[in-house]
């Protein structure tokens, strides 16, 4: 996803001279070409995320379209107040990129864990929040965010995420159907989409019934129309996310359905409301807390047995 982000950024900067890029001393050997080609539109503020946000706000007020970039925990938690007041309150068109969201940096400990990034950004009024699942969604969503006249946040992964395809286009605010199925529907966001696709492949290889799969790359504003449609047609919803239980996709889903009095059973697979200590590998962390592909298979099998 990072390479897709860099390529999309270059292309957008070529098309629009208002695009400027600010980084918090991150992305070594990734942005040198950008800095060389657009020296007046690249700023490394150093390890000073609050200053990065304030500088981006000033540039936006002057008519630029800033994109700011750091590790997700540093891009959201550390300068949160500045994002809220300097970007959210005046509704400035700044795109915040959080690299390595969720537990992408699992081995680096709680300072680098960002299970709360989507929740934090979703709390800011007017903030659009997206979590692409592969490079194709990054490439398609970034230019759409830059067209907004309000702030936005994009969580991206690292490198080597599996690509997937779907017949439906990648549109901001619209969920995508990745797999069709009956009675049970899996709802994912971010890098959980390819994990869920792996689970569906396992189910099919075992000759079992397989569920529908919908990727909600846009968490805020959530696709209310598609969500209600799914809740009314499915007998079980399974939300899979690599975010904290409060403020992520699961929280958005239950809030929307509760407001409409829809009582479709919902199960969440994801990390707990707890600290993840030590330095577990991401794969082991997902297995430990029950949101890897095998856990999804078990939950789907259980769901079909109950309905």
Task: Just give the CATH number of 176-306.
Answer: 3.40.50.920
Residue bearing tokens 């942005």: 31
- Report whether pLDDT(169) > 90: yes
Query: Of how many residues is the chain composed?
Result: 307
3-state DSSP assignment of residue 114: strand
> What integer pLDDT is reported at residue 1 of this predicted model?
85
Name the average pLDDT for the chain.
95
Confidence of residue 158 (pLDDT cuts 50, 70, 90): confident
Alpha helices in 158-223 (DSSP H): 192-205
Confidence of residue 278 (pLDDT cuts 50, 70, 90): confident
Mean per-residue pLDDT for 130-159?
Answer: 96
Q: What percent of the chain has pLDDT over 90?
A: 90
Mean per-residue pLDDT for 114-124?
Answer: 97
Instruction: Give the domain ranges of the chain.
Output: 2-156, 176-306
- Report whether pLDDT(51) > 90: yes
- Assess whether the region 2-156 and the region 176-306 belong to the same CATH fold: yes
Q: Which helix (H) or strand (E) holds 119?
A: helix 117-122
* Residue from 228, 252, 226 nearest 239 by CA: 252
We find that the CATH architecture of domain 2-156 is: 3-Layer(aba) Sandwich (3.40)
Residues 192-249 have pLDDT tens digits of: 999 999 999 999 999 999 999 999 999 999 999 999 999 999 999 999 999 999 999 9
Determine contact, residues 187/238, Cβ cutoff 8 Å: yes
> What integer pLDDT is reported at residue 32 of this predicted model?
86
């Amino acid at each position: 996803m990072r390479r897709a982000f860099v390529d999309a950024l270059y292309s957008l900067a070529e098309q629009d001279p208002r695009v400027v890029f600010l980084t918090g001393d991150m992305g070594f050997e990734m942005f040198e070409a950008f800095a060389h080609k657009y020296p007046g539109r690249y700023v490394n503020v150093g390890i000073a995320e609050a200053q990065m946000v304030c500088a981006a706000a000033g540039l936006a007020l002057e008519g630029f379209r800033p994109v700011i970039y750091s590790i997700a925990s540093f891009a959201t938690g550390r300068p949160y107040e500045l994002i809220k007041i300097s970007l959210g309150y005046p509704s400035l068109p700044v795109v915040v990129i959080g690299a390595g969201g969720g537990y992408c940096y699992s081995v680096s400990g709680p300072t680098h864990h960002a299970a709360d990034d989507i929740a934090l950004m979703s709390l800011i009024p007017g903030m659009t929040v997206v979590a692409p699942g592969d490079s194709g969604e990054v490439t398609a969503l970034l230019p759409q965010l830059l067209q907004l006249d309000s702030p936005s946040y994009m969580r991206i992964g690292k490198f080597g995420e599996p690509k997937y395809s779907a017949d439906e286009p990648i549109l901001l605010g619209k969920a995508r159907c990745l797999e069709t199925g009956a009675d049970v529907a899996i709802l994912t966001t971010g890098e959980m989409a390819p994990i869920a696709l792996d689970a569906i492949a396992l189910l099919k290889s075992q000759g079992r019934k397989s569920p529908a799969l919908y990727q909600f790359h846009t968490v805020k504003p959530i696709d209310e129309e598609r969500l209600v449609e799914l809740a009314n047609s499915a007998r079980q919803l399974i939300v899979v996310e690599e975010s904290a239980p409060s403020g992520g996709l699961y929280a958005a889903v239950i809030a929307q359905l509760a407001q409409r009095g829809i009582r479709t059973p919902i199960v969440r697979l994801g990390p707990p409301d707890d600290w993840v200590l030590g330095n577990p590998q991401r794969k082991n962390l997902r297995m430990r807390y029950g949101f890897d592909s095998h856990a999804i298979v078990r939950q789907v099998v259980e769901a079909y047995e109950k309905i």
